[in-house]
Amino acid sequence: MRPFFAVGLVFAGCCSNVIFLELLARKHPGCGNIVTFAQFLFIAVEGFLFEADLGRKQPAIPIRYYAVMVTMFFTVSVVNNYALNLNIAMPLHMIFRSGSLIANMVLGIIILKKRYSIFKYTSIALVSVGIFICTFMSAKQVTSQSSLSENDGFQAFAWWLLGIGALTFALLMSARMGIFQETLYKQFGKHSKEALFYNHALPLPGFIFLASDIYDHAVLFNKSELYQVPVVGVAVPIMWFYLLMNIITQYVCIRGVFILTTECTSLTVTLFVTLRKFVSLIFSILYFQNPFTLWHWLGTLFVFIGTLMYTEVWNSLGATKSQPRKEDKKN
């Protein structure tokens, strides 16, 4: 029953989180820092109360290792959210982040000296081609939409290019963090809830450097139109309502993924997370009417087929189906 509950949390939490993030980014594209800070603060407070037992519980993994992990995690989170301020549309943002398999494979080969099958290399090639198609077509849209003057078109393209660079950096940094976590868990055992708390609590002082931007957007949020919250009946600025819902849905999403990792295999978790990204992408395109051509659909298809091939879903399903037959033969 718990796996089904976890799947419900992942789809409900993660998909709705994307909606509220896009509502925030459409009104104030540069709000990434205040969104990241709010998410970190909420999860850190929750973890301090229930996981760290008000600071009385000693961590299973030494703090010095968490300091390294936190530096990478904080950088990835800030850069990913800030990329929305650099002419990056939400669908491209989601597709690009789906390319984490490429970064994991490349760094796995370089750092861990791993070797993969031809099947997996083929799947990575599909993901790479899919991301290239979506990125290339988005680049054409950026230049064509900025048709007021040649300077405007070049400036828009330059910001978009910087956004692609930021997403690429975050992708590689995230993969490196995953490899670092893998080595830590092998050495000290898996402590996902503890890692979740420290990854969000330790970076909080780093937001001091972003305090000015966070304050400016808090002022802008205060000036937004009032919204009557259902059930409660209290009127609040609508941007603060969007932010609150983004925080809550982000927490639900993370908790769902955590339950899945304790109840299911990593293959199953990857499959459900991939399907969740696909549902989020489709909803973003239809509900927000984001520009999406036939080429974008083709690129998206390549990305998700490549992801499913990499996780060897069909092989695992075939093994599952053949299992009862072997038992029948024994009987």
Instruction: Dump pLDDT digits (tens) for 146-191.
Output: 554 555 667 777 888 888 888 889 888 888 887 887 788 788 887 8
User: What are the C-alpha distances in Å from 209 to residues 174, 213, 286?
Assistant: 22, 9, 37
- Please tell me the predicted confidence (pLDDT) of residue 298: 87
Residue 184 lies in a domain: yes
Residue 211 lies in a domain: yes
Residue 150 lies in a domain: no
- Is the pLDDT score of 266 beyond 60? no
Q: Which of 100-104, 120-124, 145-149, 296-300 has the lowest mean pLDDT?
A: 145-149
- Please tell me the predicted confidence (pLDDT) of residue 329: 47
Residue 326 lies in a domain: no
Q: Note whether 39 and 250 are within 8 A (CB).
A: yes
Containing structural domain, residue 247: 1-142+155-316
Residue 302 lies in a domain: yes
* Residue 70 vs residue 45, higher pLDDT: 45
Mean pLDDT of the region 39-62: 91
- Is the pLDDT score of 296 beyond 70? yes
Residue 20 lies in a domain: yes
Q: Please name every residue paired with 227 in a beta bridge, in sequence order, or none if there are none.
A: 236
Name residues whose C-beta falls within 8 Å of residue 71's C-beta, 6 or more positions apart in sequence.
203
CA distance 306 to 323: 26
CA distance 33 to 36: 5
Q: Return the DSSP state at 225.
A: P
| Angle at 235 (CA atoms; ends 233, 238), nearest 5 degrees | 125
CA distance 278 to 15: 10
Mean pLDDT of the region 88-116: 74
How many structural domains is the chain composed of? 1
Name residues whose C-beta falls within 8 Å of residue 228's C-beta, 6 or more positions apart in sequence.
234, 235
Q: How confident is the model at residue 320 (pLDDT cuts 50, 70, 90)?
A: very low
Mean pLDDT of the region 16-44: 90
Residue 149 lies in a domain: no
Q: Is the dihedral of CA 54, 59, 60, 66 positive or negative?
A: positive
Amino acid at 181: Q
Q: How confident is the model at residue 262 (pLDDT cuts 50, 70, 90)?
A: low
Hey, what are 15's tokens?
A: 């998909």
* Residue 265 vs residue 122, higher pLDDT: 122
Q: E strands along the chain, which residues?
A: 226-228, 235-237
Q: Note whether 19 and 283 are within 8 A (CB).
A: yes
Q: How confident is the model at residue 245 (pLDDT cuts 50, 70, 90)?
A: very high
Nearest by Cα to 54 from 201, 249, 191, 256 = 201
- Please tell me the predicted confidence (pLDDT) of residue 327: 44
Q: How many CB atoms lie within 10 A of CB 76?
A: 19
CA distance 225 to 238: 6
- Please tell me the predicted confidence (pLDDT) of residue 314: 55
* Residue 98 vs residue 202, higher pLDDT: 202
Mean pLDDT estimate for the chain: 80
Q: What are the phi and psi torsion angles at 295 (to 5°)? A: -65, -40
Q: How confident is the model at residue 240 (pLDDT cuts 50, 70, 90)?
A: very high
Residue 171 lies in a domain: yes
- Please tell me the predicted confidence (pLDDT) of residue 326: 46
- Identify the top-confidence range among 47-61, 112-126, 142-156: 47-61
